Amino acid sequence: MPVSVEAPPVIAPAAVTGLSDAEAARRLASYGPNAVETVADESWLRVLARQFRSLIVAVLGGAAIFSFAFHDLAEGYAIVGVILLNALIGFWLEWNAQASMAALRRLGVSTARVLREGQVRGIPSDQVTVGDVLLVEAGEVVAADAELFEAQQLQVNESALTGESMPVSKQLTKVPADAPLAEQVNTLFKGTAVVNGTGRAYVTGVGGTTQLGTITQMVQQARHAATPLEAKLDRLAQQLVFITVGLAALFVVAGVLEGKSTYLLLKTAIVLAVAAIPEGMSIVATLALAYGMLRLARRNVLVKRLAAVETLGGTDVIFTDKTGTLTQNQMAVHTIWLPEGRIEFTPGETEIEFNANPLLRSEAYQYLLRVAVLCNNATFSPADADATLGDPLEVALLSLAHTSRFDVPGTQAASRRLAEQPFNSDTRLMATLHASAHVPAWVAVKGAAEEVLHHSAQVQTADGPQPLTATETALWLHRAEELAQSGLRTLALAYRVLDSEDQPDWAHELVWLGLVAFLDPPRAEVIPALAACQHAGIRVIMVTGDHPATALTVARQVHLSADPHTTVLTGAELLNLTAHPNGAGRRQLLQTTVFARVSPAQKLDLVSIYQQQGHIVAMTGDGVNDAPALKKADIGVAMGLRGTQVASEAAALVLRDDSFASIVAAVEQGRIIFTNIRRFVLYLVSCNLSELLVVTTAGLVGVGLGLLPLQILFLNLLTDVFPALALGVGEGSGRVMQHPPRSPRSPVMRPGDWRLATAYAALMTLALLTSYFTAHYQYGLSTTVSNNILFYGLAAAQLLHVFNMAGIGTPLRHNDVFRNRYVWLALALCTGLLLLSYFLPGLRELLGIQQLNSLALTLIVAPAIVMLVFGQLLGWALSRWQRRPRVPH
């Protein structure tokens, strides 16, 4: 339960000594450690136990129990071995992913500076308690929620909580307790970053009572449902089990009526269970997803849950944060408006080409750069990002000077700072007074346009400073408003030459230089990545806590929507629509591409609304404010480099390079995996249905089981697993991103797939039984040899049947299955193992294999050739039928 903490009274800083050690220990015991609880890792036993929770495992377990009961130990151990192998593979993969996340969490240990008994001490951040005096400065992360009583030019980046990209200037002004988070300027919040200045504050909330803790609790309360692939494979397993149980019950009832022995009936039931259920399906699905995880790991995508890759491939809506996801979370100069004209800059420029615009060589531009460098408290190092500190706008100004090849160190050294008027909410400008070698003193000013204009008397022109008229003032105010409406942050710059360092009111009678507009630029890979998503039929929606104009500007820059008239919906408007839903409001909500000033709870609501509409929703983000929606979404995608621990814990995928393009790679890989899974499931079902039909037909005509349980299990472990796995890990085709997402309700086996699998199985069964009856009745071969022909003939037919899985009507030599090197390796391996079953005495005896002659070899190969030829003809006929003109109804 969150603890309500009364804010301490404001005390003069000189009188503050902090808590005593005894009082700190008492409060730490009372309030608990300053740690945000995360969902505990599952124990290895729980992860292992989850691998056995499936209907297929239950049926195979039942078959193993019956085998042991009738003393068929080899069959029982073989079935148990299959179950254990699948469980161990799934356990190893999930346990490794969990261990990777634990390693990421261990990187998050931090310290905090507090005042205890009058001394500044560095302590582990989880030892900070309510009532502590917390000291913060630029470069530190705030350890707890705290109320400020001292602040010197203090600015804090709260984008992880609010989504607002610009730092918040902290003040001692009292604000209402129920004020929005972004407006609580007198409060520091746990997990936010100090970018400028220093401050002292009383800790008012720790651990779960902080804003960070509250959001984390929302994350833990958000339920995570099974992924669509998991649900679809479960439904397929149920269908196969129902088929198995139905046929087994039919055999048992018919056998009882005919007076057959109980042993034979149960033996037949075991054979049917082993034949009908593709034991390799779970293994192959697991390994296919694991191989997809490996491919994505090479692209710096950490997949925490195995089936998450496929789900991302089926996503048709992506909610993305703006700050740090679509943009760089780093302000840059976008536009400079000088009295002589306007300069536009390209984001990411490392060096400005001065011949591109004559204004870059103007005197006004050089004056502007000098003001930008001198009226600046940031530090900037192009070679060391960790050495760059300060207000993002000031950092951007220094970066501009660097790319303009301006002598920053020389200018700062030659213009020693004599005095400073810091920025505050009243004056809304910053002014610095400097000594100069050429004039008595020099003033540099930057701030809000209206304030700088109010203090300006002249404007810099090509002919030098000229009087600033009222008309020009109005024009500059209009330009500033135009830039702001475009979503750009704007600063005005001015200077003044003084006759004396002691001149009063030195920040007046300024010479106006112009406007500098800033924007958090889009990441370089975002535009092509978004274009690929749109081409693939995936709708991308921006959801941010930032200003509507800024959000809309970024959306248009990255071409988020094909509609040039894209509008933005604010959190207040969204609240009204969700509180009073109606048809028109719901349509507006579902048609909106940009949401701004949105709270964490509203992000959660948006995900739920789209899920209720039947969409598969992915949510990307990096901040604490994204975490609840990341967990609620079908797939949460967190940014690993700049993302918070809470966001990474909540997500199913973590982008370790923070590249939006990796999302497109994950989408493509997910689609390839689902196509591969659908392909090998069709292969497995058609092969196992053929085994089922062979056993059923043999039983109906009275020739025994046709195939032994161990023979079927051997076939399923060889021909089912290895060729199916080769299909599952195929490279796929680039065409997967040229189609819209599949319906989330589309099963792994569609009705057409069931019909096709049945046709393949019937064709295979007919060819095999023809060989069997030819061998047994026409040539008089023994039942055992005829059984061997059926066994090896089924193996050969299933091996060549893999080439029928390339797609309907795809020519044999021009499909990705034929070009898949893993398929050829699988065929070579299976052929080797089949030869081993014939020549290895122990295995040969276990499978009941006899000496076979050339006639038997011919009867083994013939069904395989028939299966391949007629399978290709069937695919060709179906493709012609699908392309035929339809008569309109």
The DSSP annotation for 461-494 comes to ETTEEEE--HHHHHHHHHHHHHHHHTT-EEEEEE
510 and 534 inside one domain:
no
Output the pLDDT for position 14: 35
Strand partners, 465: 460
First-to-last C-alpha distance (Å) of the chain: 64
Q: Is 432 helix (H, G, I), strand (E, B) or coil?
A: strand
Distance, in Å, from the CA atom of 683 to the CA atom of 804, rounded to the nearest integer, reads: 9
Asked if residue 66 belongs to a domain, the reply is no
How many of the other CB atoms lie within 10 Å of CB of 821?
10
> Does residue 753 surpass a pLDDT of 80?
yes
Does residue 360 sit in the same domain as residue 454?
yes
The letter for the amino acid at 491 is L
Is 505 among the domain residues?
A: yes
Q: Residue 134, SS3?
A: strand
Question: Distance between CA 844 and CA 856 in Å, rounded?
Answer: 17
Please, are residues 202 and 131 in contact by the beta-carbon 8 Å criterion?
yes
The Cβ-side half-sphere exposure at 596, using a 13 Å CA radius, reads: 18
Q: Check residue 1 and give its pLDDT.
A: 34
Average pLDDT over residues 269-290: 70
pLDDT tens-digit readout, 166-189 = 788 898 888 887 777 777 889 999
Picking from 33, 40, 38, the residue whose alpha carbon sits closest to that of residue 207 is 33
Question: Which residue, chain included where needed, has tokens 């399978």?
Answer: 871
pLDDT for 834 = 94
- What Cα–Cα distance (Å) separates residue 659 from each residue in 184, 251, 370? 32, 58, 35
Please state, for a pLDDT cut of 90, what percent of the chain lies above it: 28
pLDDT of 889 over the 50 cut: no
Identify whether residues 359 and 446 lie together within a single domain: yes
Is residue 509 domain-shared with residue 547, that is, in the same domain? no
Asked whether the beta carbons of 100 and 152 are under 8 A apart, the reply is no
Are 798 and 787 contacting, i.e. CB atoms less than 8 angstroms apart? no
Residue 515 belongs to some domain of the structure: yes
pLDDT digits (tens, 9 = 90+) for 686-742: 988 888 888 777 766 766 667 777 888 788 778 777 898 898 888 877 677 877 887
Please provide residue 98's backbone torsions phi and psi, each rounded to the nearest 5 degrees.
-65, -40
The band of 679, judged by pLDDT with boundaries at 50, 70 and 90, is: confident
Is the Cβ–Cβ distance between 275 and 707 less than 8 Å? yes
- Counted domains in the chain: 3
What is the amino acid identity at position 545? G
Q: What is the pLDDT of residues 655-678, one digit of tens each?
A: 888 777 888 888 888 888 888 888
Interatomic CA distance for residues 117 and 6, integer angstroms: 22
Whether 445 shows a pLDDT value over 90: the answer reads yes
Its pTM stands at: 0.69
605 and 483 co-located in one domain: no
**Angle between the 280-298 and 55-69 helix axes, to the nearest 10 degrees?**
140
Regarding whether 693 and 644 lie in a shared domain, the answer is no
**Local confidence band at 783 (pLDDT 50, 70, 90 cut-offs):** confident
Least confident of 42-46, 563-567, 845-849: 563-567
- Enclosing domain of residue 626: 309-327+523-665
Name the band, by pLDDT with cuts 50, 70 and 90, for residue 829.
very high
Residue 220 backbone dihedrals phi, psi, to 5 degrees: -70, -25
Per-residue pLDDT at 152: 85
Contact partners, residue 122, CB within 8 Å, separation at least 6: 111, 112, 113
Q: Do 450 and 387 fall within a single domain? A: yes
Minimal CA–CA distance to 168: which of 157, 153, 177, 178? 157
Q: What is the dihedral of CA 321, 323, 328, 331, to 10 degrees?
A: 160
Query: Is the domain of 350 the same as that of 450?
Result: yes
DSSP 522: B
Average pLDDT over residues 358-375: 93
Active-site residue, 499 included: no
376 part of a folded domain: yes
Cα–Cα distance between 408 and 417 in angstroms, integer?
A: 14
Report the residue count for the chain: 889
Q: Can you tell me whether residue 617 is helix, strand or coil?
A: strand
| 615 and 699 belong to one structural domain | no
306 half-sphere exposure, CB direction, 13 A CA radius: 23
- Are 361 and 354 within 8 A, CB to CB? yes
pLDDT at 865 over 90: yes
Strands (E), 183-228: 187-188, 193-205
CATH number, domain containing residue 707: 1.20.1110.10
Please state the rounded mean pLDDT for residues 204-226. 71
**What six digits make up the tokens of 737?**
């991103």
**Which residue in 687, 690, 671, 674 sits closest to 721, CA to CA?**
687
Give the model confidence (pLDDT) of 605-656 as tens digits: 999 999 998 899 999 877 676 778 888 898 888 887 777 666 777 788 888 8
Token pair belonging to 113:
């500076």
Secondary element (H or E) of residue 646: helix 645-650
Inside any domain, residue 728: yes
Residue 431 lies in a domain: yes
Strands (E), 436-558: 441-447, 456-461, 464-467, 489-498, 510-519, 539-543
The pLDDT score that the predictor gives to residue 853 is 92
Would you say residue 18 lies in a domain? no
Triad 428, 434, 436: Cα angle to 5°: 145
Confidence of residue 165 (pLDDT cuts 50, 70, 90): low
CA distance 765 to 794: 9
Same domain? 292 vs 382 = no
Residue 886 has what pLDDT? 40
- Cβ density class 264-275: b for 16+ within 10 Å, e for less: ebbbbbbbbbbb
Q: Helix %, strand %, coil % for the chain, to 5? A: 55, 15, 30
Is position 130 within any domain? no
Residue 363: the pLDDT is 92
533 neighbors 502 (Cβ within 8 angstroms): no
The last residue of a domain, from among 665, 693, 725 = 665
The interaxial angle of helices 751-773 and 661-700, nearest 10 deg, is 40
CA nearest neighbour of 153 among 96, 197, 118? 197
Backbone angles phi, psi at 146, to 5 degrees: -155, 150
Which residue from 270, 151, 234 is spatially nearest to 200, judged by alpha carbons?
Answer: 151
Catalytic residue among 132, 316, 321, 546: 321
What contacts 381, CB < 8 A, 6 or more positions away?
A: 387, 388
- The larger pLDDT score, comparing residue 336 to residue 290, is at 336
Query: Do 607 and 533 have their domain in common?
Result: yes
Q: Among 632, 665, 698, where does a domain finish?
A: 665
Please check whether residues 565 and 698 belong to one and the same domain.
no
pLDDT digits (tens, 9 = 90+) for 60-70: 787 788 778 77
CATH of the domain at 467: 3.40.1110.10
The per-residue pLDDT for 885 is 43
CA angle 160/614/547 to nearest 5° reads: 30
Q: What is the average pLDDT across 580-587?
A: 75
Identity at 151, one-letter amino acid code: A
**Of the residues 665, 695, 726, which one is the last residue of a structural domain?**
665
